[in-house]
A and B are shown apart, each in its own frame.
Chain A
Amino acid sequence: MIYSIKQAFKQFFRNGAMSTASVLSITAILLILGLFFLLIVNVSNIAARVENDFDSIQVYLLDEADEAAADYIMGAIKAMPEVQEVEFLPREQAMEDLKAKFGDKAYLLELRQDNPLPNSIMIRVGLIEDADKVVEYVRAFEGIEGINYYKETVERLIKLNRFIQYAGLMVIFTLVIISVIVVSNTIKLMVLAREREIGIMKYVGATNWFIRGPFLVEGILIGLISAGVSVGIVAFIYYKIEEVLGTDLLVMLSSGLVSHRFMIENLAAIFAALGVSIGACGSIISMRRFLDT
């Protein structure tokens, strides 16, 4: 074990150019992988937030419906097990919200003296699939002007999110396989350079694991160094993105990026595991041919 580690470090530095080359290639691959990871996590995050914002059903009440009628309807809706939250939204509040949304252009709304918006009830369902049922139930009540909800939009969003996740996974999977090939080629070259030595080791009675050990450790070393470097670069890029976007764009999206601490910690753990397995697989694959007796 100690022998393996010592040998691995010796080999790593003795074949400096080769080690550097493979560390660079794997770093590049992990970098792309890391950026994909950032993308996927953030898209999921934004999708979750948007989903949260849009998965409410807005029930517009007729002007003649009084507070008692509204209370009655709300009580009935609240009793449904599918419903998570019910909230009364008075027309004045609706106007305020609209003005806030318009921001600089709020004066346009001032052009009208009266408030054309009706009172409404906001319903939040636990599962978007239940929205139809709730809408059907609510429609039966008197005093309702109309119902507005974005089931299709939300469903489409969920689909898009899922697609990005699957596509991302495919890309990540492909990149991992490419890195295994890169490592295995590097190790193969190193094994070739030491073929004679390995032959002698076998004649003297070294077990396959004894011969494999140093190369295995070396592969893992290459993987780990690549992981470290790429996590560093990805972290730097993420800080920069946060810095640039942080002020305006993110406010518009009404959802911030996933915190860099959460991102980097997870990325470091994932990459460390990935680096170790890429290195280990690469070296074991490349040594197979040399060790079958």
Chain B
Amino acid sequence: MTLLQRPLLVLLLLVTHHLLQCWIAFGSVDEEGQKQEEFNEELLLKPLPDRKVLAHFHFQSSAPPSTSNGRHHHLFPKAISQLVQKFRVKEMELSFTQGRWNYERWGGFDPIASSNAKPPGVELWAVFDVPQHQVDASWKNLTHALSGLFCASINFLESTSTYSAPEWSFPPSSGNLRYGTLPREAVCTENLTPWLKLLPCRDKAGLAVLLDRPSIYRGFYHSQRLHLTSTGSGSKGTDSGIILNQALTVVLQPIQPNGLRASMDHASEKHIQPSWSLSSIFGKQVRGRCVLAKSSKVYLQLDRGLVAELKRIHKENEKSVANGLTSENFWSYPSFELSANPDRIVIEENSLHSKSSSILYNFQVEKYSESEPLDLGLTWKIPVVWLCQSAPLHSSRFLMGSGNERGAIAISLKSTQLREGFMGAFADNERCELRVDVFQVVPWYVKVYFHSLQVFIDQQPKAVSDVIEKIHVSPSKDKVSPGMMEMVLKLPCRVKSAALTIEFDKGFLHIDEYPPDANQGFDIPSAIISFPNFHASMFFLEDGSVNKSPLLSKFQEKSPVMSYTEVLLVPLTTPDFSMPYNVITITCTVFALYFGSLLNVLRRRIAEEERFLKDKATKKTGQLPLLLSKLSAKLRGRPWEPPHSPPSTSFFISSKLVFKVILVAGLAVGWQYYFS
């Protein structure tokens, strides 16, 4: 019996364990059948054309609006929900970025590049659900709260001179939006750790295990984002639902086993993309999902250009296999090899761009365990060359001029060759117009002259009114608010290059407004260039699984193509910071001279002095003082008068003294000279 009971007991234990797990995972089962708190973790890997690999972690926690739990949550981070409730945040995005997104090589059109590429440093924007006059106060409090939460100096965004309120150009346009950036903020693990703490499994289980600090900070681009939307409707903040999206995008260089150098010598191997696996780029493997996650998936994405190229190569090589590409046979093509079999293959439904569609291989992490970890790897067999799809216009921004007085900011837009593909339909149309939104914030000490805005299209100067459809400018106020410029440009579709220039004067700061490293220069935050005509979204076949995946549904969202320009560095005049010392010295001298002479004037009685001098003059004088007095008389520019000679006694003593001093000095010199 006991023998029989034991397996039963084990079975029972197992069952309860499972149940417990389910219970933890899905939260408490509510009677009304409300939606539960959910957590999803996903990882998207994508080979990039310049031998690098993009890894995009996406964690979504959602808390449905419910009053049942009170202030408690099962999975959702309490810190965030408190933040949302306290400051009535409707939508907020905070990003910490190190490095620059390379729009030319890594693409600028897909959802990752468009909505996850962020400017270096910290960027924060938030929409508040409060009356207009309370927005600034809420923003200030929010920055302080976030600053403490993420160990970053976000509190510098509190000052009114650092943030702005875009009216309509920033994509989630709304009246209560505040936007601020800190381009110089350094990003490191101290910011990542609090970010990971918001995850239910932190980095102890699930996909977040891969976030090995040395390997992700070795990368070429590193951006951690926190985006939250509160869907609450009621005026009371307690019953709002919150969706928290945490995304971390890194671009890593796979380490080759034999090193890049060695393979460079062989011409054939030269063009082969490096092979990589999760363990080679992160140094870790996925050992099962986070048990609290509803879904845990790994995707491998081959983007449109790569798929098209692979198809072309395949067609050249094997004429016989003429049948079209299907999702089933594609991954078994001989051009590359995956170390694990994908569970599903999702192909983008290509409606707009006829060229090709990207492919996503889906790997379910549930299937892997401690003993059998997921170490997804990609091994290239043949050299492949492709280009990522870039935004319709490549934008860059730079400073013009030199010197400490004035300069100009130029934004140059250059058409990318790839544009013909999706503009082809409209290209014939003469009236076709390409809309470009520009949003730019400049600090107050860069005094922009908005009247000096010049527009050049295809190297021809154009009237501003012809090109700019809509412009909103809020000029800067010294030490109060930054200058902000929002513009809608209408460019002809066939435009090859366009340039905007605007001149500025460099202002002067008060000495205590200079940062510690003032001689580096001052930053002008990135401008945002967006193309509302184009949407960086992917369409997938309507399928149950796609809807379940927050990452893919995020990709499906229609959002305009956006790109950030470079941060600019403006050298301003800096004072000599050692000057205070000099100033103190010189003021002290001046004061001493002033008070000395004032005292002299107040104290002295001239008539009495003359009488005193005459008294003394009656006494006898020596020979040397006589000469001296003659000399001094000459110095004064007066004829010498014998009675004016100074007292003999003091002079006699002094001459004796001088003689003695000279004698002693001479002796000392002689002694030094002969005895050393």
Pairing of A with B: no
Q: Which residues of A line the B interface, CB within 8 A? A: none
Q: Which residues of B line the A interface, CB within 8 A? A: none
